[in-house]
């Protein structure tokens, strides 16, 4: 019962809200462009309950709460593939209500609306948090030292604030970490503020091979940051910072994915349902602010992943529409069919990989062996 309350319920609530926002983006833009929406589903599989509105859209909650979909008039399935046989039999009036007979610009807008709804939710949520609670900043202050590591051996102490490295002013702990990582084995002149007194300490960051699989060793001092400081922003500054954080997170994610593709970074970092459930539970325990912050971060990742040019995802549709806009005619049916099959295999492969990582990370196999 405790596991249900602490992890399952927060996971379902978080995912349901973010999926609803994503699909609502598709729905609004589709309806705005005169597209008939047949089904708006939260979850997959058999319907648990639902209702039909005046526009003949079936709104429903389905059994498996691991996503959702909007099925539009003329769609063959939940992946929004065109039902070519049904479309050919439709009258011109009925075709005008189908997404697949709308101008390519409108179809692009409908496909892009879901991911951008997730980005908008994240930006608005973070902007409100930054204005009310404050933007969390990790100061370049030492909260803890790892015994026997470079910082402890050089004489740094808990509470020291690092203000400069090689005469370069340090903005926050993230800035400090980035500099240290790039200087494995190279001496650094670190200016420290301790009890209102400035000290200069020379440190050589330890060269380590991280478990991320990076081929190039990175620098490490062996320090942990102090508790975050919250800086309250005005309305305009909050919005600006929220957009900036969204762009920074998206950029870092894309860089990480690129490193995994070229195999300079391990795919072991990929997390699946168990990881999301664990983080949702931990965020819920930390309070409303922590939960909203986690939802904003997850919403950014959900929007970004859906823009990947993989058939079955929104990015795959955008890829086809982009090709159509350039060529002046749609991608052939056979090519689309093969692409969707390939996209399905890619999505399933990623799901299996992330699930395997979760099972290993949370030692599920050891637990099963212990009990059975």
pLDDT tens digit sequence for 31-61: 999 999 999 999 988 999 999 999 899 999 9
Of 300, 316, 348, 340, nearest to 111 by C-alpha is 316
Domain ranges, ordered by start, for the chain: 2-33+102-132+279-371, 139-227
CATH superfamily of 139-227: PDZ domain (2.30.42.10)
Catalytic residue among 23, 197, 198, 269: 23
Residue 87: is it exposed, middle or buried by C-beta count within 10 angstroms (0-12/13-18/19+)?
middle
Which pLDDT does position 87 carry in this prediction?
Answer: 75
Lowest-pLDDT range of 79-88, 170-179, 201-210: 79-88
CA distances from 231 to 129, 136, 139, 175 (A): 10, 7, 11, 17
| Range 330-359 average pLDDT | 76
Give whichever of 54-63, 179-188, 265-274, 345-354 has the largest mean pLDDT: 54-63
Which DSSP letter does residue 4 get? I
| Range 310-335 average pLDDT | 87
Report pLDDT digits (tens) over 89-144. 787 878 888 888 889 999 999 999 999 999 999 999 999 999 999 998 888 898 89
C-alpha 303/C-alpha 177 separation (Å) is 28
pLDDT band for position 288 (cuts 50, 70, 90): confident
**pLDDT beyond 60 at 75:** yes
Asked if 207 and 217 touch (Cβ cutoff 8 Å), the reply is yes
Specify the DSSP element, H or E, that contains 198: strand 197-203
Q: Are strands 188-194 and 161-165 parallel, antiparallel or unpaired?
A: antiparallel
Which pLDDT does position 5 carry in this prediction?
Answer: 57
Asked if 28 and 73 touch (Cβ cutoff 8 Å), the reply is no
Of 156, 219, 157, 159, nearest to 185 by C-alpha is 219
Which pLDDT does position 331 carry in this prediction?
Answer: 82
pLDDT band for position 260 (cuts 50, 70, 90): confident
pTM value surpassing 0.85: no
Query: Tokens at residue 35, please?
Result: 């597209």
Report pLDDT digits (tens) over 97-110. 888 888 999 999 99
Which pLDDT does position 365 carry in this prediction?
Answer: 47
Q: Are strands 168-169 and 161-165 parallel, antiparallel or unpaired?
A: antiparallel
Is 269 an annotated catalytic residue? no
**pLDDT beyond 60 at 3:** no
**pLDDT beyond 80 at 213:** no
């Amino acid at each position: 019962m405790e596991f249900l309350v602490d992890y399952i319920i927060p996971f379902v609530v978080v995912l349901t809200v973010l999926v609803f926002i994503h699909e609502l983006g598709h729905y609004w833009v589709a309806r705005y462009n005169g597209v008939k929406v047949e089904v708006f589903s939260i979850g997959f599989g058999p319907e648990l309950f639902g209702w039909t509105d005046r526009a003949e859209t079936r709104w429903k909650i389905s059994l498996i709460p691991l996503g959702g979909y909007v099925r539009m008039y003329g769609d063959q399935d939940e992946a929004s593939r065109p039902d070519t046989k049904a479309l050919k039999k439709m009258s011109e009036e009925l075709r005008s209500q189908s997404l697949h007979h709308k101008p390519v610009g409108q179809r692009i807008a409908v496909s892009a609306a879901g991911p951008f709804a997730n980005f908008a939710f994240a930006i608005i949520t973070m902007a409100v948090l930054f204005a009310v609670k404050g933007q969390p900043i990790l100061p370049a202050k030492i909260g803890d030292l790892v015994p026997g590591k470079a910082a402890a051996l050089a004489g740094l102490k808990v509470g020291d604030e690092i203000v400069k490295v090689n005469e370069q002013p340090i903005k926050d702990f993230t800035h400090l970490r980035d500099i240290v990582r790039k200087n494995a084995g190279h001496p650094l002149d670190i200016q420290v503020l301790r009890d209102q007194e400035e000290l200069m300490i020379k440190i050589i960051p330890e060269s380590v091979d991280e478990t991320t699989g990076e081929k190039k060793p990175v620098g490490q001092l062996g320090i942990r940051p102090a508790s975050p400081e919250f800086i309250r922003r005005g309305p305009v500054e909050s919005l600006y910072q929220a957009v900036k954080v969204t762009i920074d997170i998206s950029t870092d994610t894309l860089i990480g994915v690129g490193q995994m593709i070229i195999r300079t970074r391990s795919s072991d970092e990929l997390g699946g349902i168990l990881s999301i459930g664990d983080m949702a539970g931990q965020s819920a325990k930390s309070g409303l602010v922590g939960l909203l912050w986690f939802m904003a971060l997850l919403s950014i990742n959900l929007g970004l992943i859906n823009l990947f040019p993989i058939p079955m995802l929104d990015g795959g549709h955008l890829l086809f529409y982009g090709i159509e806009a350039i060529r002046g005619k749609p991608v052939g049916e056979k090519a689309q069919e093969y692409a969707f099959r390939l996209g399905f295999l890619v999505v399933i492969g990623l799901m299996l990989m992330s699930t395997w990582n979760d099972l290993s990370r949370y030692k599920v196999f050891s637990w099963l062996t212990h009990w059975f």
